Chain A
Amino acid sequence: LSQIEVASTPQPASTAPRRGERLRVDERIIEIVSDSGEGAQKAGQAFGALCARMGNGVWTVEIIPAEIKPPARSRAGASGIRVRFASKAVTNMGDEADLVVAFNEQVLYGRLAAGADRPGTVVLLENKWAADPNEDVRAQYAAAVAELDAQGLEVIELPLEAACQEITPDARLGKNMFVLGLLAEVFDRDLDKALAEVRATFRRKGPEVVALNERLLRHGAAFAAAHVPLAWEVPAWQSDGPLVVMNGNEAAGLGILASGVELVSMYPITPATSVSHYLGRVLPRIGGCLHQAEDEIAAVGFAIGASWAGKTACTITSGPGLALKTEFLGFAVMAELPLVVLVVQRGGPATGLPTKVEQGDLLATLFGQPGDSPKVVLAPATLEECYHFMVLARKLAEELRGPVIVLSDANLATGVAPFPRPQPQAAHLAPPVAQSAWPQGIAAYDWDASTGLSARPLPGQKGGEHVVTGLAHTRNAKVAYEPDANQIGCTMRSRKLAALGRTLLPPVVNGDPEGDLLVVGWGSTLGAIEEAVERLRAEGHKVSSTHLRFLSPMEPGLAELFGRFRRVMTVEINYSDEEGDPQVPPAARRRAQLCQLLREHTLVDVGCWSVVPGSPLAPRQVAAVLRGYLPETPSAVAGVPGTHVVPTDTTAVMAGETR
């Protein structure tokens, strides 16, 4: 895991450099916001890719309204993108923006309310509204500019659309590449590389569209040189090897391809669906198939059918779909059928926050089925892990003969960042087993008493004929009528998790192995938590963090690790009653989901702080919370000799190594 430290000193507007004195900074956060459909996301994606190609660390977060077409100029309808880029690797969206390009003033209210801006944030604001024929619009515009000014933002009003119209009559479609050119000039980006991004973005639309957008880009750069009094430079970060840049859903899609999965079965649901958009195009090229089923239940049933028939299969979904797949997941546990399930979490319950991040599916994933339903649950914390965990999931599903759930989320799904180029292995692409005759006398569930593991006969294997059933069954796959058969079956299925747990290593600790506070996280909050912890450590606090990748089974050594800290708490994006809420007696407090698991698992009094605003955590926000749990003067902690934690290495499982 990379240690992240990005200097983040807010730059007051008064010190914003003027032309001719380009200022070097470690990082910048920019936002482009607009009404939906104005191309802000396309401009930001191209700018993020451009920064990555120029060697910066980058993290891109989409700002998505829940409606496809929210009303124009609405406060809640902000659509856009944030790009944080730096001279080092970036793992999260950061705090407030340094620079905002806004196509109207109304969408800025929503961003201000979300804490995305601060005094000193420079706003490049479309000024055509000041001369709008509608008197109300003119008044709204004047009021907003006054409000932004009062809040300390530095507003620079610019005729962005009018400038675009010098190139194309349809400024609404042309603004994105104009803004890319503008930003390229402000940040001294290589114009040739920017033009290459334009060509890549519009290649499919033909040479005329490409040429028009190249002109828009050059015009945006010239416009900035003449009218935008900003000149910043964020030097490159040099990585060791080749990099790729993509979002988490593309990374998961590529991971599915690299895992050897040949059948992906899904039903459209946000925010998981874009994985299928990618796979629908690519999977057939590598000899696989994407099946869009008639519903979520059929999607998982189809995948289970293919898996039972000896093919490697995966289903992809988000919260409401996970709820519908519950019965079949229990079936896959009971019948011991390998299945990879990618769950891209969003806000819940019910339809909840369809486009927004939440980590609320953890307990549903673990305990959603009636009866005992042991299964493997993994949570990638980075975009790179979205790729590798899919490969790991396929391997584990087959080794353990059951479902493996990978819990991603909306933050990882749409976040774009560079990471080391994975090296796919031919061995991962091989189908499950050859089709030789099944050895005589071997049961269909030939459970190893110590691990619960067994080989499975596949249709086509002569002599292995049997019936899989969701009914309790014996090792010979016969419906169980003996009183102890169900006890034995449950024990064998549970032992598989214990067997996997024995191969795992304790999690890495970010910071010292003992101290005042240990923060435990999982999933996409890694970057924000680690950056917050780094800042607090720089202030002298004895705080560390650890991030779990295995939620079922749990990584070992947690109780011992927790014992070395005065306080242990989780930071999560799911609901918990606020600590000390006068309406909730302490004994009745409902805690965050990982917190509940850890308390049960370690018998340590693990605390929690969690929120559900539908947005990723910001480092400053996490640091402020953690400060409240830390003593003003760090306590003298007696070190425990010889208990340094061994790094987690999930690849040990991949290589079949055990300890």
Chain B
Amino acid sequence: MSESCAMSDNCRDGCWADFAGEEPRTYTLGDYDGGTARWCPGCGDFAVLSAMQRICRDEGIPPERLAVVSGIGCSSRFPHYVHAYGFHGLHGRALPVACGVKSRRPDLDVWVATGDGDCCSIGAGHWLHAARYNMNMVVMLFDNAIYGLTKKQSSPTTPIGFGTNTHPDGSWLPPLDPVRTMLGFANISFVARTVDWHPPHLYETLRAAYRHQGTSFVHILQRCPTYTPDMFEVLRREPERMLFLEHADGISGDGGPRYAFPNREAHDPTDHMAAHTFAARRDAIPIGLFYRDATAPRYDLHTAQGVGQGSAARLAALERELDRFAV
């Protein structure tokens, strides 16, 4: 991301991490415009796309070094609408691909778009391991509590009793809470929650995620006007039902009117146990930064070792290795 490449001392041929000699550029929103987004009118995804593009502009990310990776679902159409290098992959498999991208390209800025079905159901096995790897990337978890692309089937976050096409009498299983789940992952280093209907907080949250060195998971409560139009209406109309997590090292809620988050409590985002306690609160939905650990080990610093090592050194090592097998 914005840091200089940790491998730059080793850069020789074929390494793209060396920014030296490049003229600084400034960017406009148009530089990240990938064409007309085809989500339903009123879809929360538009707000996320807009916030992400503004961050790219403000942080000066060159479009050619922007890697946007997704799986399958409404929100996974995201890469098609960003002017960048995009990878619209397989259902549930955005995270392994994103990790592979980052493993040998420390110079690329990796953003992942994934949904509650893509990440928390078919891709759940990768979800917890991506946290363990803690490679430097932003993971935007769009949670509309429904499968939208395939037309209203229950997702792992669909509330009990909510009628869907697969459970017309109401969803039967208790939903999982992505934030509580992620706080239990080994080596988790950044967990935040935001909402699509409050652009300043969405922007601040994604920017904090971008600036964090490690895998930043952002749980985005995202409205689906077609299949779950009333899912978050109560939160939008009665903001006191949300609990804003306030801290000097947290995410600022001051980007908008104070009445957006009237209900506030102090929470130190380095306090893992307190984060668990807040995440478990049911009197109000906590919003903001739950947990951040800037010291968690990063696998991408390990996997990128040797990036750009010259062919001559590799050939010499190979010759030595063949000699070991000589008769």
Contacts and interface: CB of A to CB of B under 8 A. Distances in A.
A257 B303 CA distance: 16
Select the residue from B63, B79, B305, B307 with max chain A CB neighbours within 10 A.
Answer: B307
Chain A interface: which size bin? 35 or more
B242 interface: no
Contacts of A529: none
Select the residue from B98, B102, B308, B317 with max chain A CB neighbours within 10 A.
Answer: B317
B311 interface: yes
B321 A284 contact: no
A293 B100 CA distance: 10
Contact of A459 (B85, B99, B303, B314): B85
A626 interface: no
Given A305-B87, A470-B89, A291 B322 contact: no
B129 A289 contact: no
B64 A465 contact: yes
A53 to B, nearest CB: 5
A465 B104 contact: no
A289 B34 CA distance: 34
Given A263-B103, A459-B65, A465-B64, A254 B322 contact: yes
A272 interface: no
A295 B327 contact: no
Contact of A289 (B93, B96, B103, B108): B103
Interface in A226-254: 242-246, 250, 254
Contacts of A52: 327
A464 interface: yes
A422 B64 contact: no
A76 B93 CA distance: 41
Contacts of A242: 326-327
Interface in B59-80: 62-65, 67-69, 79-80
A430 B14 contact: yes
A202 interface: no
B241 to A, nearest CB: 37
Contacts of B302: 289
Contact of A305 (B64, B97, B326): B97
B232 interface: no
A243 B88 contact: no
B13 interface: yes
Nearest to B316: A286
A309 interface: yes
Nearest to B91: A327
B105 A462 contact: no
Interface stretch (A86-94, A296-304, A546-554, A564-572): A296-304
Interface in A193-249: 242-246
Interface in B20-75: 34, 62-65, 67-69
Contact of A460 (B88, B107, B306): B107
Contact of A431 (B14, B85, B313, B322): B14
Interface string B201-226: 00000000000000000000000000
A305 B119 CA distance: 17
Given A286-B314, A298-B129, A467-B87, A305 B321 contact: no
Interface string B228-252: 0000000000000000000000000
Chain B interface: which size bin? 35 or more
A289 B101 contact: no
Contact of A254 (B108, B312, B321): B321
Interface string A256-268: 0110001101000
B103 A302 contact: yes
A311 B16 CA distance: 11
Contact of B105 (A299, A311, A421, A470): A311
Contacts of A298: 93, 95-96, 125-126, 129
B52 to A, nearest CB: 15
A462 B309 CA distance: 24
Contacts of A462: 62, 64
Contact of B104 (A286, A294, A297, A309): A309
Interface string B96-129: 1111111111011000000000000000011001
Contact of B312 (A53, A289, A426, A467): A426
Contacts of A245: 325, 327
Contacts of A465: 63-64, 83-86
B105 A301 contact: no
A289 B100 contact: no
B319 interface: yes
A286 B309 contact: yes
Contacts of B102: 305
A243 B14 contact: no
B307 A306 contact: no
A305 B101 contact: yes
Interface in A449-469: 457, 459-469
B90 interface: yes
Contact of B86 (A295, A307, A421, A466): A466
A304 B321 contact: no
Given A424-B318, A431-B13, A301 B62 contact: no
Nearest to A460: B16
A575 interface: no
A646 interface: no
A435 interface: yes
Contacts of B309: 286-287
Contacts of B86: 465-469
Given A244-B327, A426-B315, A459 B108 contact: yes
B100 A468 contact: no
Nearest to A306: B100
Contacts of B69: 305
Contact of B311 (A291, A308, A426): A426
A286 B327 contact: no
B100 A287 contact: no
Interface in B126-157: 126, 129
Nearest to B10: A287
Nearest to B104: A311
A289 B321 contact: no
B89 A301 contact: yes
A282 interface: yes
Contacts of B34: 467
Nearest to B83: A465
Contacts of B315: 424, 426, 429
Contacts of B321: 254, 257, 282, 285-286
A327 B90 contact: yes
Interface in B274-327: 302-309, 311-315, 317-319, 321-322, 325-327
A414 B307 CA distance: 32
A288 B100 CA distance: 13
A430 B65 CA distance: 22
B327 A418 contact: yes
Given A250-B325, A465-B84, A304 B97 contact: yes
Contact of B108 (A295, A309, A313): A309
A109 interface: no
Contacts of A289: 103-104, 302-306
A288 B306 CA distance: 6
A254 B239 CA distance: 62
Contact of B64 (A244, A418, A461): A461
B100 A263 contact: yes
Given A301-B97, A426-B312, A331 B64 contact: no
Nearest to A294: B129
**Shortest Cβ-Cβ A-B pairs, 5 listed:** A305-B100, A287-B306, A287-B309, A467-B86, A301-B96
27 contacts: A243-B326, A243-B327, A254-B322, A254-B325, A262-B104, A263-B104, A286-B309, A287-B309, A287-B314, A289-B103, A299-B96, A302-B99, A302-B103, A305-B97, A305-B103, A306-B105, A309-B67, A311-B104, A331-B89, A418-B327, A426-B311, A434-B14, A459-B65, A460-B16, A460-B65, A463-B64, A465-B83
Given A301-B96, A306-B104, A459-B101, 10 more contacts: A250-B325, A285-B317, A286-B313, A289-B103, A304-B97, A306-B105, A328-B93, A418-B327, A424-B322, A459-B67
